[in-house]
Amino acid sequence: MTEDKDFTEEELRETIEQHGGEGKSAAGKLPPVHFSGFIVSLAQAAMVNLGDIPDPDTGQINRNLPQARYSIDLIDMLAQKTSGNLTDEEQHLIQSVRSDLKMRFVRGK
């Protein structure tokens, strides 16, 4: 069972760093591709579009609820399609992110 948890901006950044979604490395190479980093990048996109964190490109706070909903729907679809094929850590991450983003979306309407 997963716990419902609202991620603070700091916690999201820490999660992104832990899962390799930090962007380009010092050598200018992209981080390795893995499932957790992909989920975190979708969550970050949703949070940007919910207006919860600044856009990393512009530093501006913007709200685009249809785009946020799309990112959340993508995470839902991935959770369904990967059911039974995730590690415990990946399963916990995707469930926590899903519930957190859905709560943020409902509060943001």
List the structure tokens of 35.
């499932």
- The rounded percent of the chain whose pLDDT value lies above 90 is 63
How many angstroms separate the Cα of 65 from the Cα of each of 71, 96, 104? 10, 20, 11
CB 69 within 8 A of CB 50: no
* Residue boundaries of the structural domains of the chain: 9-21+30-108
Q: Is 76 exposed, middle or buried (0-12, 13-18, 19+ CB in 10 A)?
A: middle
CA dist., res. 73 & res. 96, Å (int) = 14
- The rounded percent of the chain whose pLDDT value lies above 70 is 72
pLDDT digits (tens, 9 = 90+) for 9-58: 666 666 666 655 444 444 556 667 889 989 999 999 999 999 999 998 89
The pLDDT value given to residue 29: 67
Q: DSSP of 12-70, one letter per residue?
A: HHHHHHHTT-S-S-TTSPPPPP-HHHHHHHHHHHHHHHHTSS--TTT------HHHHHH
Output 30 or 60, whichever has higher pLDDT: 60
